[in-house]
Structure 1
């Protein structure tokens, strides 16, 4: 029983039909499946992988109404794609309910290729484009591996697609900020709290309404978890006929990678995790810590740097911070009105400062000066020019980035991100506890706090949360863990914690670097989303380990580029 649901039924029929027709034409290669493993019903373990060039799926996606996925097909040359059938619920794999998702493959150039599963993290913890991204940044990988990418369950091309209304459910950077107009996120008065909780309720309702359903009308939202996804991926390993495989994941992809290794340690070969999400903290705790880390980065990294630039913000760190704090207060009192009825508010300033440590300091400073000129200006040409610059920076550029990001991901992924987060077990459903926690976070990080977001949304989530793997770490082979020393997005403590949990692991630290992500990535055709890499030393260590399987004899420290 394959899932249907909103806009899902037509896609399943079209895709399946195309596979049959192409099979008769002789252009599909089938991979024989291995013997069924325990827990995998034969109907899934014995399916054939029907590979075909990913760009050839453009028409199928277009006919199914998936414009973003169709557009993405055009930037996947050289990749093969296959659709996987998997149990909807791995807790009951033989109950007849099934789901589908897609994988991609970039064939290796060497003679002894094995699978290297890849995940660039972020929205969905993986996309079909990932093999191109990593091979573009580290071309030697293709000498030893077939690189594999995936669109996980819950993403738009899967039959369990989760679709939220982006106007209600947060920004494409997956920060869970929501619309946040008509109140100040730092204001915890009763009227402001009521507005924020109401926004969270609408967010939850819109996401649940957009979730694909089973044929009997049940929501698929409860099944979008890493507990389910790692079992989907291990099924892929079996279908690839690989007793062991390797993994290269960054940022959010490290959370998925560690769960995959922890759940199936006997199938782990070479594991590289770059910018590690802390394994000892819940998603909520990670987010709260991130607010504080970003606030500290603003205070100790950005403000001293900005003080040396000779701007009106001030000539020492304290004056810069005072100027930014006053700017926020004045925006709260008098937002900048932009075309189309949109207002740039104090709430919109916080994501810019939250970006310190991820975006270049020069870019953050430029935005702050533009906002300041618009807030304190008059009707002079310079003030008008500042407002025009705000339109470009905060309306047109984000729109372009959203659309390009949605194409590269196959569609917006707020739905996947919401379901994944809210299905985690650690969220409180006690509104008073949530408010106390959030008020404390706002007080600790007034310039980088992003609002109640998932804390309020997941408090209203109707499905019980589920923890990830319950397995111990003792059987997991040693990994290579990589971090920038001053990363404020995934602090280095996460990599150190995982190193201590997994015996034999090695940690590579890029000293003094405050950026997020270490290893380079390149997207095809010069499209956005690439990562320059922070250390050729760390990159060389990662590539050498993946090519040879030999971990460094001890932890390593690398210089930044």
Structure 2
């Protein structure tokens, strides 16, 4: 099962629809064409398709301007730049300030991997209005995602069954079922997306971004990376240090970890977030409805998951809330403190035998819409991870790691340990144990870590600073909750980030915001 290293949710409604990704093909002949000289044809953006998660066209900008979309040609294979091309879908909001004060384009990647920037940027557009005074805000669907030559694997009905698998097997029969399910999913990816699978690595996306920089007319890439977007930004800085402009990394991936170390770090991070959630619930003036003490809250959650392993409860008809779906839903709610009330409501409901809210949260993390259609978020997530990650773990390796994972988290330990099997028997070899982000000669990169971040634990920010190299990474700490810092609206964080991106004021290294 895919590990919950997915993009932050753009919205949480009654149906918990995750905003993500759209469909496009590859196959144009790029022979004798200078792709860096191509001219983009910007038009009003269409409504997102199934691969992007569906929904309406982007709402007008605060000044009633329109979001614009275009398709950039990029090589299918960067080792054969004059061969076939694919389309990379872009979205922009043009700068709102005086023309003479425009700095250039500010390119966003919101994470995943597998998240569609074309749908996510408009969802968060108002948060970046200050930055729009001097930048065109730009984002994109990375290759393999959404409209950018999307990777597809199983059908919607098959994915429903895939996500009902027991992702924490207790015996040989359950292990066989899990392995068979993973193999079926991975075989489907190869059957439907064989041509794209070798070309969706983070290094490929980084090269796309440098082509994007040139096509947008910028001498330097000004960049805002969130979650996995920090890894992509680090890889870009390693490949093109001389082209880095003003860059911010928020919710920072630890670039020094193997997939196993990363999964263990997430187990600790999600457990820390669950601890904080439990403490918050019992500290309110009103009585916490899901436990008498923080430990009681966590004990009852652990008992619920144990009970669901033996006896699922009704979820979203006709599906049942399983132990796996409940764990997934709890993880989704921990991505943002704004979602904690949904988690409280979902747990209270589940204790009464109704799993609807927790299942909707799980559906959101998996990219499933209310009408039962899946975006290509999960296929893209797994495809990019497996293209990047060299290790291919076995059942024996997972079993040896289980004690350490369980010590890290009673709730998430098994779930994240077994998720290491996602790339077993994958059709394409992985690139490396971990990404190379060393970037000597790069301009300063502001690296923002959140002490309460569940998905990209705080410790990763310092590791990223060290890996970028002396004089490049500038660390800023936010003492808060949730995945990321800038969208917390903390004034200290906002002032530091905006001051750098807008006025080139680099904050003092080690600055702490609370």
TM-score (norm 1): 0.75
Aligned to 2:278: 303
Rg (Cα) greater in structure? 1
2-side partners of 1:474 and 1:334: how far apart?
55
2-side partners of 1:482 and 1:396: how far apart?
27
Give structure 2 stretches of 5+ with no counterpart: 1-22
2-side partners of 1:70 and 1:370: how far apart?
28
TM-score (norm 2): 0.81
1:459 to 2:436 alignment: no
> Given the superposition, is the C-alpha separation of residues 202 and 353 from structure 1 closer, same or farther in structure 2, using an over 3 Å criterion?
same
Deviates more, 1:289-298 or 1:193-202: 289-298
RMSD: 3.5
Q: Give 1:125 deviation, angstroms.
A: 4.8
1:262 to 2:238 alignment: yes
> Given the superposition, is the C-alpha separation of residues 306 and 139 from structure 1 closer, same or farther in structure 2, using an over 3 Å criterion?
closer
1:363 to 2:318 alignment: no
> Given the superposition, is the C-alpha separation of residues 128 and 49 from structure 1 closer, same or farther in structure 2, using an over 3 Å criterion?
farther
The answer as to whether partners of 2:326 and 2:362 remain within 8 angstroms in 1 is no
Q: Give 1:405 deviation, angstroms.
A: 9.8
The answer as to whether partners of 1:353 and 1:364 remain within 8 angstroms in 2 is yes
1:492 to 2:468 alignment: no
SS class of match (1:322): helix
Q: Give 1:68 deviation, angstroms.
A: 5.5
2-side partners of 1:68 and 1:126: how far apart?
6
The answer as to whether partners of 1:294 and 1:448 remain within 8 angstroms in 2 is yes
1:82 to 2:70 alignment: yes
The answer as to whether partners of 1:163 and 1:416 remain within 8 angstroms in 2 is no
Q: Give 1:269 deviation, angstroms.
A: 1.0
Aligned to 2:486: 519
The answer as to whether partners of 1:154 and 1:160 remain within 8 angstroms in 2 is yes
Q: Give 1:310 deviation, angstroms.
A: 3.6
Aligned to 2:170: 188
> Given the superposition, is the C-alpha separation of residues 245 and 493 from structure 1 closer, same or farther in structure 2, using an over 3 Å criterion?
same
Aligned to 1:248: 224
1:320 to 2:297 alignment: yes
The answer as to whether partners of 1:108 and 1:145 remain within 8 angstroms in 2 is yes
1:369-384 mapped onto 2 (5 Å cutoff) = 369-374=348-353
1:346 to 2:326 alignment: no
1-side partners of 2:364 and 2:460: how far apart?
33
2-side partners of 1:266 and 1:161: how far apart?
32
The answer as to whether partners of 2:51 and 2:150 remain within 8 angstroms in 1 is no
1:59-78 mapped onto 2 (5 Å cutoff) = 73=57, 75=59, 78=66
Higher relative contact order (CA 8 A, sep 6+): 2
Aligned to 2:251: 275
Aligned pairs, number: 477
1-side partners of 2:486 and 2:370: how far apart?
20
The answer as to whether partners of 2:449 and 2:458 remain within 8 angstroms in 1 is yes
SS class of match (2:439): coil
Give structure 1 stretches of 5+ with no counterpart: 1-6, 17-39, 172-177, 212-217, 375-386, 521-532
